[in-house]
A and B are shown apart, each in its own frame.
Chain A
Amino acid sequence: MALINNFILSKFLGLCPFFGVSKKLSNAVSMGMAVIFVMLAATLISWVIYKYVLESFGMEFMQIVIFILVIASLVQIIEMTIRRTNITLYNALGIYLPLITTNCAVLGVVLINVQYEFDIVQSLVAAIGAGVGFTLVLSMMSGIRERLDLADTPACFRGMPIAMITAMILSLAFLAFGGMI
């Protein structure tokens, strides 16, 4: 999940934070930590709901709606809890927690767990792998973009276009992991 089926570069999920938050290394790392945390929590809750509510009523087709609902309220609760109990952690995660609410990578990992019919331990491992892969790529990309800011790029490539090209080359490199096994 972290390298071969990387969420950003192989499955193309969570591209908005990939381009939006990858300008500074420190931001990217804290965003990645928040994503790992939320992915784990979301996987846990949604697995329970899928297993004991949706499957027992034969309502598997409702998974997307239910998962969105559950993830959104879960992030709300987590944000509230962190804010009230640990203000330093809240400041560190900052705006990234609410940003994750609609992150497609979080929904993606939950849906993929259902699709592959993982049990609870497998789901949690998959969630950690996905989160670590997300963090890895985000921090790699931000490191490259910090350097790119200093480089003398042609005017038409400056900013987003050169970031897209960098993402393409990164994606090619990650494709090679798939061929190794």
Chain B
Amino acid sequence: MNIVSIIILSIVGLGCAIAIYFTNKYLPSEAEHLKKAEEISQILPNMNCGACGKAGCFAYAQSLAQDPNVIVETPCMAMMKNEEAIKELENKLGMKLAGSDMNKVSIIRCNGKSDVVFDYHGINTCKAAAQLAGGYKKCPFGCLGLGDCMVKCPENAISIDEEKNIAVVDHSKCIGCDLCTKECPNNLIEVVSGKLAQYLGCSYTSKKNIVNRDRCKQGCIHCHICEKTDPDALDWDSKKDLPRFVEKNKESPNSVKKCPKKIIVPLALDMSKYPDEPKEKNEKKTEEKQTK
């Protein structure tokens, strides 16, 4: 009895093994470009963010295997920060890529803690909150801080700043996949080149009047100081009543420093290159006073 059961189990197992072997052998092998697509998709991030416009990383790899020029027209943003993967992909496709020059990041054009007009206890998403009388914050253009963009982010680069009650992007993690821009009901998020020197962190427009709404204390106060300090880099957008950068990649450290509300935020601009001289003097003076 025992022997028979062992024999039957082995025979059935052997039969299964043989069946798998023959299906493997006699099925048409995968087409050439599918094999290549498989190899390429192993290099790709495989997070299926959809930023390239394809249905997923494997679909992107398939189109790359057929025509390598696709990567120039619609580059995979998610791997531009990964130097090794880019090199590997260059070898595989046999072409040179611009690499980190194509790097993009998303920015949120809101910088502050706006006052709350009414308490909101509805569905916990920005989209639902924005439906109700233009949002619960005093500034109708502000970030609602309920994290629609945070949920969408494939890299967990967006988090909610508890103190400011707005979403903030960690630019070292952001891959510029453009998924968050569609989520924001106030259209505050924008994907920009990683080389952009600085950006304006406020979207308030005084031209659009809504009853009982006003700018927040952290927003642009339309003082024109930035325009006056750095007329080369900035001019005034009278339509939106906000400053505007003429040349996108031109560094303007003075306007970053001078802005009384600190809403001109440096991005690629390295502020440590431009030490804050007057402030240091002030500190020294206070120190001197204290010693006296």
Contacts and interface: CB of A to CB of B under 8 A. Distances in A.
Q: Do A and B share a complex?
A: yes
Interface of A: 49, 53-54, 57, 59, 61-62, 65-66, 69-70, 72-74, 76-77, 80-81, 83-85, 87, 91, 150-152
Interface string B1-45: 000110011001100110110011001111000100000000000
Nearest to A54: B8
A154 B21 CA distance: 53
Interface of B: 4-5, 8-9, 12-13, 16-17, 19-20, 23-24, 27-30, 34, 58-59, 123-125
Nearest to A150: B123
Contacts of A85: 27-28
B4 A57 contact: yes
Given A57-B4, A85-B27, A150-B125, A77 B9 contact: no
B9 A62 contact: yes
Contacts of B5: 59, 61-62
A148 to B, nearest CB: 12
B8 A81 contact: no
Given A85-B28, A150-B125, A69 B16 contact: yes
Contacts, number: 55
A53 B11 CA distance: 10
Given A70-B16, A73-B16, A80-B20, A57 B8 contact: yes
A73 B24 contact: no
B50 to A, nearest CB: 14
Contact of A91 (B8, B58, B125): B58
18 contacts: A57-B4, A59-B4, A62-B5, A66-B9, A69-B9, A69-B13, A70-B12, A70-B16, A73-B19, A73-B20, A77-B20, A81-B23, A84-B28, A87-B34, A91-B58, A150-B123, A150-B125, A152-B123
Given A73-B17, A91-B58, A53 B12 contact: yes
A61 B59 CA distance: 47
Given A59-B5, A59-B8, A73-B16, A152 B23 contact: no
Nearest to B122: A152
Given A150-B124, A152-B124, A53 B8 contact: yes
